[in-house]
Structure 1
């Protein structure tokens, strides 16, 4: 059986960490985000918030990271700063606060689906993406400076055009994690 376009896209998608110096049009990113915004969610409102730092706007993100950088080693600052500067754009993704544990879990899972939608749409447009989680990006001072205070950090998406595509990583057989009841 021939694979569908969707199957081909999912199977060819890669995490891209190194980008070439080429700007990304904010209007194109907005269009892709609008489509990704159709991700499923289980609350009355979409649970995600997005903070786009494109081109020179990345300096706002770097400035907001400055207080957190003071608490760590210089090598970490240089590594993170280099990664942000290498990307054409960055998107800081959070979930809105929910009162219940179930609400928080649903929000997190829906936001992950949103990010996956966006990742696939970027891959289709030959835009590379790496999804970074945790660490310095969860700093409360950063969140306050960009207007995300009280929200749950889900990921920093770094985007850009690329030349080199990493090879496919070996995956375990689906049989190692699938139980079928017929």
Structure 2
């Protein structure tokens, strides 16, 4: 059963402990498809996704990510890459250094919300050695790994974190 988008936004949590149960291929496809529908500058869609099921590769990536054991425990990890050459071709340095990162971040958020809607836990990891991950996955060209997403069924659901209020964070300019 899927959730309303606002429910998925409020219910999304960073899951750091996963059950070993594999994810259904159809669910994985839907989560990855959600990433493809993210907005991108000039609709360039400068992303590539590496779905990693191999236990040995997940363990290698875990070591490149400060030994975050969740990466070896998750049934699936997705390495999200930005193709800097695509963004640079139209927008120059700003496209390479900013737009493609914004675009991939939007794709990641879509994946996290889709996972939540399908009852799948997720964790967005940004702390890793990019060049080591590129070597492990034999990533060529100007693809830059910018995020690793762990996916699986969570062992438990964390408590809802506190959030700052709208009054603290929104400035109205009239």
Fold equivalence (TM over 0.5): yes
- How far apart, CA to CA, are the structure 2 residues paired with 1:135 and 1:21? 23
SS in 1 for 2:22: coil
> CA 1:95/1:9 → structure 2, altered by over 3 Å: closer, same or farther?
same
- How far apart, CA to CA, are the structure 2 residues paired with 1:114 and 1:175? 28
Which of 114, 130, 133 matches 2:126?
133
* Number of the residue aligned with 1:174: 166
Structure 1 residues not aligned, in runs of 5+: 70-75
Give yes or no for contact 1:58–1:90 (8 Å, CA) kept in 2: no
Give yes or no for contact 2:82–2:144 (8 Å, CA) kept in 1: yes
- How far apart, CA to CA, are the structure 2 residues paired with 1:47 and 1:8? 29
Which of 59, 62, 65 matches 2:59?
62
Aligned: 1:9 with 2:8: yes
Q: What per-residue deviation string (whole Å, max 9, x for no partner) do you get for residues 109-147 of structure 1?
A: 1111111111011001111000111333x1x24303413
> CA 1:155/1:64 → structure 2, altered by over 3 Å: closer, same or farther?
closer
> CA 1:44/1:180 → structure 2, altered by over 3 Å: closer, same or farther?
closer
Q: Which has the larger radius of gyration?
A: 1
Structure 2 residues not aligned, in runs of 5+: none
* Number of the residue aligned with 1:123: 116
Deviation of 1:44 after TM superposition, in Å, equals 5.0
* Number of the residue aligned with 2:70: 83
Deviation of 1:103 after TM superposition, in Å, equals 0.8
TM-score, structure 1 length as denominator? 0.80
- How far apart, CA to CA, are the structure 2 residues paired with 1:172 and 1:122? 24
- How far apart, CA to CA, are the structure 1 residues paired with 2:7 and 2:43? 33
- How far apart, CA to CA, are the structure 2 residues paired with 1:47 and 1:118? 16
- How far apart, CA to CA, are the structure 1 residues paired with 2:153 and 2:133? 27
Deviation of 1:26 after TM superposition, in Å, equals 3.0
